[in-house]
Structure 1
Amino acid sequence: MATSKKYDVVVFGASGFTGQYVVEELGRVTSEEERGLTWAVAGRSEDKLNKVLEKASATIGVDLKDAVDVLVADVEKEETLNDMAAQAQVVLNCVGPYRFFGEPVVKACVKNKAHHIDISGEPQYLESMQFKYDEEAKKKGVYIVQCCGFDSVPADLGVLYTVQNFPGRINTIESYLNLSAGPEGAVGHYATWQSAIHGLANAEELRKLRKDMGTKKPLPKSGPKLENRGPAHWSEMMQKWCVPFPGADASVVRRTQRFLYDNAGENFPVQFGAYVCVAAFRYLVLLMITGVVFGVMTKFSWGRWLLSKYPRLFSLGYFSHEGPTQKQIEGASFTMQFIGSGYSNTVLQDGDYDGPPNMTIATQVEGPEAGYVTTPIVMVQAAITLLREMKKFPAKGGVLTPGIAFKDTSLVERLSDRGVIFSITAPAASN
């Protein structure tokens, strides 16, 4: 990888809703411990990018105007993407939905030997980029590191953290996400809503892609099969109703486990299930009714149009074109708890042991608001870790999940220092 690039980091899509927060976080970090890092912002409008820097400067109390360059780049103009990527060691791609705008940026980065980090939570996009660009990225020595935001670093690295702290062999891990809102409530941005619409509408394409990639082949199990908990279940440990988490976490963790099995000598991949907790039974009923309506509407063009036109109505107020207010962001937080079950080293000494798992462990990842505080923190620290610890990455390049890329790095410690904290809540103990 050439080191003569003009910028260590370029934030592409800096004038978008999430991009603004990434710029602010990068501004904080480069005004503190990473003062030598060179960076620029990129997007379609020079005027908007200058306004982003003005707003970020006012928010963080550091003047960025003279320290950060502005680059004009457009996903519909290949030459501008090539020019941007040619100047960057790492491109932070904040332009979504990625199924519409992501691939041209990946293509430009691979072509011009720039590492690429995204914050996508769209499994079809993520897996299609692996299918199309993994081999070429390896040849070029380029790292395309995916889903480096709330989707799906807490889940993927949380699983690895749980495994690392288990004195034996883990068979299954289940994650339970709790999202907390302040007195102002919580709202997601339209781009996330749009990604969900088109992801569900094209689910069949994802199944075909996985068949073509051979990723539907089952991995070996070290114990009983992970329980299928259905569309909803009551968790005694969480003391809440829970439903399957609709994001990319499960697919990302499975890809990491497959890589570790195929390439890193991990003979017993972890079975993983991801859930989100619901505050009360009445909300569970409302959520399930809304989910059915949403699923049906995504199958028709008129339904997708209505969902896109009126996100606040069809999401019961949880998504809007405007996104959350600053007060809503400041009042929100998350906790993701992991329950691991497996075999202690004591029983593993007996090669004939084939009983049920005899040990459990509980860990958690907790942090501030998921989409616009935690995600920028994770994305920026992922970029810095890539720049500083590239020699610890497991390959010479390729399209990687966070767990593959950062397994042996200090990213967990870096995140904990920035308020996204990994911890053991219940040490491994016999059942």
Structure 2
Amino acid sequence: MAEDRLDVIIFGATGFTGKYTVYEAVKVLDNLRWGIAGRNHDKLKAVLEEMGTKSKKDLSHIPIFLADVNDEASLLEMAKRCRVLVNTAGPYRFYGEKVVNACIEAGTHHVDVSGEPQYMENMQLKYNERARQRGVYVVSACGFDSIPADLGIVFVEKNFDGVVNSVETFLQSGVEDGSAGGGAALNFGTWESAVYGLAHADELRGIRQKLFPERLPKFYPILKHRPLIFRSSEVNKVCLPFPGSDRSVVMRSQRYLYEHEKKRPVQMHAYVAFPSWIAAIAVALFATIFGLLSKFKFGRDLLLKYPGFFSGGMVARDGPSESRMERSFFKMTMKAVGWPKSEKLGECTDQYTDPPSKTLMVKVSGPNPGYGATCVALLSTAVTILRESSKMPSTGGVFPPGAAFAKTSLISELEKHEHGMKFEILANK
């Protein structure tokens, strides 16, 4: 790549996630050359002023680039100006593909925080081979909550000292003072992505049939689903199935590692934890209404017009307050079950005859999951590509983060930063 390129450009910097990515870039991209991009020069300049004041740094020297998702020439010109493009402009199902295409054409790596399985898997289907030929890495799901899940399993396998059969994840989030209130927790853009993602969930089957024409073999014992609502002894909370993209992201990583490195794939189920039965049932009711409404245009219009009402006050068009973000946290507890090293089989396709006898409990945690830890994780993936591409698979391609960064020091990079993530072992039996 040309030496006059910047290391990183943050695209979509005037959006809610984008501007906090700019804030975290002051520390995470220290000693790197970076810039920002978007449609409006005045708004981009205002973001640098606002985030400069917040970080107590003069950001007036940061380069500004104009690019619009509806102007493919501008996207290509932007992509040619950097080595890694950090894309915060969602929903990605509407705006992501043109940016990915521009990056591959320009020979520029691309990372984003999509939680939209249809977009991510469609990009892998359409662009993986071309990205590989161009030596470009395209990695989605580089924020909360897929980084804790996917890299958490990487951490589990590095510390298991044996063969992992299955992992269950239990996600908890809240605010430090324990209050139930505190205002909105999510930005409208995240809500919008969820509405359209669920509305078009039936697209996934067709995409996956083309992307993965051959099914993975079954490995025993098969990890069973928990009840729809249950109390988990692992976290002593009431849990529901987690509706996000964690499992789809993790299983893409596990498939890649099985097919290319002959590693037995880890089975995985994801759950979200609540403090009481009442809270869990209320969320389940909201989720049911959300799911029904998202299937129809009239319902989607209502969800997008009144996000606060249909989310129980958890979503606002102007995003959560600074106070709410500063007090928020997440914990993802992971229970891994498998066999000790002494019982390892010869081939990854071999089946065990004895039940799993080893357990490892791990926790991944951090502050401000939506707009602190997410932004740090996104930028850390960019830094890792710049510094450790030789440890990444193949010469490029479209990857989930676990497959892309399994052999890199991304976990250590995440642990370095104030708003990063901590990976720790809770119990090893």
**Could you tell me how far apart the structure 2 residues matched to 1:107 and 1:230 are?**
42
- Please give the TM-score of this superposition, normalised by the length of structure 2: 0.95
Question: Which residue is equivalent to 2:39?
Answer: 44
Alpha-carbon shift at residue 216 of structure 1 (Å): 7.0
> Which residue of 236, 250, 254 maps to 1:253?
250
Alpha-carbon shift at residue 52 of structure 1 (Å): 0.4
Question: Which residue is equivalent to 2:60?
Answer: 65
Question: Which residue is equivalent to 2:427?
Answer: 426
The answer to whether the aligner puts 1:168 opposite 2:169 as a matched pair is no
**Could you tell me how far apart the structure 1 residues matched to 2:108 and 2:343 are?**
48
The answer to whether the aligner puts 1:403 opposite 2:402 as a matched pair is yes
Deviations 1:361-412 (A, max 9, x none): 1011110011100011101111111101111111101001111111111110
Judged with a 3 Å threshold, the aligned counterparts in structure 2 of structure 1 residues 349 and 87 are, in CA distance, closer, same or farther, namely closer
Once the two structures are aligned, what percentage of the paired residues are identical? 41
Judged with a 3 Å threshold, the aligned counterparts in structure 2 of structure 1 residues 125 and 381 are, in CA distance, closer, same or farther, namely same
Q: Which residue identity does 2:277 align to in structure 1? A: F
The answer to whether the aligner puts 1:273 opposite 2:269 as a matched pair is yes
Judged with a 3 Å threshold, the aligned counterparts in structure 2 of structure 1 residues 397 and 349 are, in CA distance, closer, same or farther, namely closer
**Could you tell me how far apart the structure 2 residues matched to 1:341 and 1:319 are?**
36
Alpha-carbon shift at residue 85 of structure 1 (Å): 0.5
Judged with a 3 Å threshold, the aligned counterparts in structure 2 of structure 1 residues 215 and 369 are, in CA distance, closer, same or farther, namely farther
Q: Which residue identity does 1:234 align to in structure 2? A: R
Question: Which residue is equivalent to 1:21?
Answer: 20
**Could you tell me how far apart the structure 1 residues matched to 2:8 and 2:345 are?**
49
Alpha-carbon shift at residue 215 of structure 1 (Å): 5.9
- Please give the TM-score of this superposition, normalised by the length of structure 1: 0.95
Pairs within 5 Å for 1:118-197: 118-182=112-176, 183=179, 184-197=182-195
Judged with a 3 Å threshold, the aligned counterparts in structure 2 of structure 1 residues 353 and 19 are, in CA distance, closer, same or farther, namely closer
Question: Which residue is equivalent to 1:374?
Answer: 373
Question: Which residue is equivalent to 1:416?
Answer: 415
1:120–1:151 CA contact under 8 A, matched in 2 = no
Judged with a 3 Å threshold, the aligned counterparts in structure 2 of structure 1 residues 219 and 325 are, in CA distance, closer, same or farther, namely farther
1:175–1:275 CA contact under 8 A, matched in 2 = yes
2:184–2:319 CA contact under 8 A, matched in 1 = no
**Could you tell me how far apart the structure 1 residues matched to 2:270 and 2:183 are?**
24
The answer to whether the aligner puts 1:291 opposite 2:264 as a matched pair is no
**Could you tell me how far apart the structure 2 residues matched to 1:226 and 1:71 are?**
49
Alpha-carbon shift at residue 5 of structure 1 (Å): 4.3
Alpha-carbon shift at residue 123 of structure 1 (Å): 0.5
**Could you tell me how far apart the structure 2 residues matched to 1:264 and 1:27 are?**
37
Pairs within 5 Å for 1:30-109: 30=29, 34-35=30-31, 37-66=32-61, 68-109=62-103
Other structure's SS at 2:20 match: helix
Deviations 1:240-274 (A, max 9, x none): 111111111100000000000000121x1100011
Judged with a 3 Å threshold, the aligned counterparts in structure 2 of structure 1 residues 3 and 404 are, in CA distance, closer, same or farther, namely farther
Alpha-carbon shift at residue 348 of structure 1 (Å): 4.0
Deviations 1:95-129 (A, max 9, x none): 01111111110010011111000010100000000
Q: Which residue identity does 1:169 align to in structure 2? A: V
**Could you tell me how far apart the structure 2 residues matched to 1:301 and 1:203 are?**
14
The answer to whether the aligner puts 1:320 opposite 2:319 as a matched pair is no
User: What 5-or-longer segments of structure 2 have no aligned partner?
Assistant: none
**Could you tell me how far apart the structure 1 residues matched to 2:77 and 2:352 are?**
59
Q: Which residue identity does 1:420 align to in structure 2? A: M
**Could you tell me how far apart the structure 2 residues matched to 1:314 and 1:352 are?**
47
Instruction: Report which stretch shifted further, 415-424 or 211-220.
Output: 211-220
Other structure's SS at 1:217 match: coil
**Could you tell me how far apart the structure 2 residues matched to 1:341 and 1:261 are?**
18
Question: Which residue is equivalent to 1:226?
Answer: 223
1:5–1:89 CA contact under 8 A, matched in 2 = no
User: What 5-or-longer segments of structure 1 have no aligned partner?
Assistant: none
Judged with a 3 Å threshold, the aligned counterparts in structure 2 of structure 1 residues 349 and 39 are, in CA distance, closer, same or farther, namely closer
**Could you tell me how far apart the structure 2 residues matched to 1:270 and 1:137 are?**
27
**Could you tell me how far apart the structure 1 residues matched to 2:56 and 2:192 are?**
34
Q: Which residue identity does 1:337 align to in structure 2? A: T
2:8–2:35 CA contact under 8 A, matched in 1 = yes
The answer to whether the aligner puts 1:242 opposite 2:212 as a matched pair is no
Q: Which residue identity does 1:115 align to in structure 2? A: H
Question: How many residues get paired?
Answer: 420
Q: Which residue identity does 1:241 align to in structure 2? A: V
2:216–2:255 CA contact under 8 A, matched in 1 = no
Instruction: Report which stretch shifted further, 174-183 or 134-143.
Output: 174-183
Alpha-carbon shift at residue 228 of structure 1 (Å): 1.3
Other structure's SS at 2:143 match: coil
Alpha-carbon shift at residue 236 of structure 1 (Å): 1.1
Q: Which residue identity does 2:421 align to in structure 1? A: V
Q: Which residue identity does 1:51 align to in structure 2? A: A
Q: What is the RMSD computed on CA atoms of the aligned residues? A: 1.5
**Could you tell me how far apart the structure 2 residues matched to 1:289 and 1:371 are?**
23
Alpha-carbon shift at residue 284 of structure 1 (Å): 1.4
Other structure's SS at 1:409 match: coil
State the 4+ residue runs in structure 1 displaced beyond 6 angstroms: 349-352
Judged with a 3 Å threshold, the aligned counterparts in structure 2 of structure 1 residues 346 and 294 are, in CA distance, closer, same or farther, namely same
Instruction: Report which stretch shifted further, 225-234 or 383-392.
Output: 225-234
Question: Which residue is equivalent to 1:334?
Answer: 330
2:145–2:246 CA contact under 8 A, matched in 1 = yes
